[in-house]
């Protein structure tokens, strides 16, 4: 390896710029591409100093993002977009940059987590960055932190509903799939309280999120992710207080995971048969039908 180890260079730059070390791999790849080291070969004994794993691409996770550094880089990137005639239309207006600063201020002020809230336009602004900016410029930490904030108890229903619907709508476009998978556990944990909410719209949005994740994780053969979705969907499906459409989508997620996924045995261990039988006896025709289908899946060898 050359004296200038790109991992060391990346670490020093991230620390200097007060940015999270979770961007380490992205910076390393940038260094390699711009120094002609695309075909660099690491010594077989090389171990990532943070994860301890050989040739690991694992990222570090921090409880709190370094928002000042992130905001600084977003502003720099925005200035770069403004000076590029082909990408000027992607840049933020002065008003949006100002609002982004206000969002960061709210996120940093942890002492008022329960009394402050975001407007729908704030969440739309962040999602627009995620949707339209070049991949190299995306800083997803702020998006994830917003999700964490709006789901902290006691929650504000309006913020919670806006954020879960926004995340659910990301499944429309495959360009978000990697981000959705990377933050799957955080997202599902954050919105788990929706399953017991008396708000029917929150229940429906949560069941839709689970169903979307079931489809995505089946396609990617992610057994760990499938297990998490299965557990959440079963919990929703067996709750007698959940309204019909939400229960139906949860049951469809369970059936899909059992039929096409990697978690049929896990579902059996979770007593899915009794849940299926209860659904089969429902007065609602579509619930009864999917319950019957799941019961048949439990009998397959």
pLDDT digits 0-9 by tens, 205-254: 999 999 999 999 999 999 999 999 999 999 999 999 999 999 999 999 99
| Residue at 160 is within a domain | no
Please report, rounded to a whole number, the percentage of residues in the chain having pLDDT higher than 90. Answer: 41
CATH of the domain at 12: 3.10.20
Domain that holds residue 24: 1-62
Q: Where are the alpha helices (DSSP H) in 24-137?
A: 24-34, 67-82, 94-108, 120-132
Average pLDDT estimate for 182-186: 92
> Could you tell me the pLDDT band of residue 56, with boundaries at 50, 70 and 90?
very low
Residue 220 lies in a domain: yes
Do 268 and 300 lie in one domain? The reply is yes
Q: Quick one: 200 and 297 in the same domain?
A: yes
Residue 252 domain-assigned? yes
168 belongs to a structural domain = no
If you average pLDDT over every residue of the chain, what do you get? Answer: 78
The segment with the largest mean pLDDT, out of 47-61, 97-111, 168-182, 217-231, is 217-231
Instruction: Examine the fold and report which residue of 134, 150, 166 is the final residue of a domain before the chain moves on.
Output: 150
Helix (H, G, I), strand (E, B) or coil at 35: coil
**Is the predicted pLDDT of residue 255 greater than 70, yes or no?**
yes
| CA 21 vs CA 7, 13, 26, 46, 119: distances in Å | 11, 10, 10, 19, 30
pTM listed for this prediction: 0.62
pLDDT at 122 (0 to 100) = 82
Residue 256 has phi, psi (to 5 degrees) of: -65, -45
Domain count, the chain: 3
Rounded Cα distance, 44 and 37, in Å: 17
pLDDT digits (tens, 9 = 90+) for 268-287: 999 999 999 999 999 999 99
240 and 301 together in one domain: yes
- CA nearest 178: which of 146, 208, 222, 137? 222
Query: Is 197 in the same domain as 247?
Result: yes
Predicted local distance difference test score (pLDDT) of residue 294: 96
Residue 111 located in a structural domain: yes
CB atoms within 10 A of CB 45: 6
Residue 20, pLDDT above cutoff 70:
no
CATH number for the domain harbouring residue 257: 1.25.10.10
The residue behind tokens 């004296």 is 3
Predicted confidence band of residue 47 (pLDDT cuts 50, 70, 90): very low
Q: What is the pLDDT of residue 199?
A: 92
55 in the same domain as 1: yes
Residue 54 has pLDDT above 50, yes or no: no
Looking at residues 29-57, what average pLDDT do you find? 42
Per-residue pLDDT band at 12 (split at 50, 70, 90): low
- Do 194 and 284 fall into the same domain? yes
Kindly state whether residues 43 and 134 are assigned to the same domain: no
With cut-offs at 50, 70 and 90, classify the pLDDT of residue 142.
Answer: low
pLDDT of residue 280: 96
Q: Are residues 39 and 84 in the same domain?
A: no
Same domain, 207 and 226: yes
In this structure, the answer to whether residues 118 and 188 fall within a common structural domain is: no
pLDDT of residue 7 exceeding 80, the answer is: no
Q: Are residues 10 and 39 in the same domain?
A: yes
Q: Is 159 within the bounds of a domain? A: no
Does the residue 162 lie in any domain?
no
Any domain includes 161? no
> How confident is the model over 47-57, as a mean pLDDT?
31
């Amino acid at each position: 390896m050359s004296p200038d180890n790109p991992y060391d260079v990346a670490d020093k730059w991230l620390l200097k710029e007060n940015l999270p070390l979770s961007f380490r791999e992205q910076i390393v790849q940038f260094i390699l591409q711009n120094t002609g080291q695309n075909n660099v070969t690491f010594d077989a004994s090389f171990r990532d100093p943070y994860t301890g794993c050989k040739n690991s691409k694992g990222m570090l996770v921090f409880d709190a993002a370094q928002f000042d550094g992130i905001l600084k880089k977003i502003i720099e990137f925005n200035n770069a977009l403004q000076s590029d005639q082909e990408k000027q239309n992607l840049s933020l207006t002065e008003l949006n940059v100002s609002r982004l600063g206000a969002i960061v201020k709210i996120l940093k002020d942890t002492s008022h987590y329960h009394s402050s809230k975001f407007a729908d336009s704030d969440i739309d602004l962040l999602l627009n960055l995620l949707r339209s900016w070049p991949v190299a410029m995306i800083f997803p930490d702020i998006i994830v932190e917003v999700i964490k904030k709006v789901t902290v108890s006691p929650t504000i229903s309006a913020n919670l509903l806006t954020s879960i619907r926004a995340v659910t709508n990301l499944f429309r476009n495959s360009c978000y799939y990697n981000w959705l998978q990377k933050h799957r556990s955080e997202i599902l944990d954050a919105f788990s309280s929706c399953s017991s909410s008396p708000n029917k719209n929150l229940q429906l949005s949560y069941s839709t999120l689970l169903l979307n994740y079931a489809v995505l994780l089946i396609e990617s053969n992610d057994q760990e992710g499938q297990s998490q979705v299965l557990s959440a969907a079963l919990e929703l499906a067996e709750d007698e207080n959940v309204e019909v459409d939400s229960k139906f989508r949860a049951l469809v997620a369970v059936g899909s995971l059992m039929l096409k996924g990697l978690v049929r045995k896990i579902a059996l261990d979770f007593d899915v048969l009794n849940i299926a039988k209860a659904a089969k006896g429902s007065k609602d025709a579509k619930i009864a039908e999917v319950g019957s289908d799941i019961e048949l899946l439990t009998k397959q060898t």
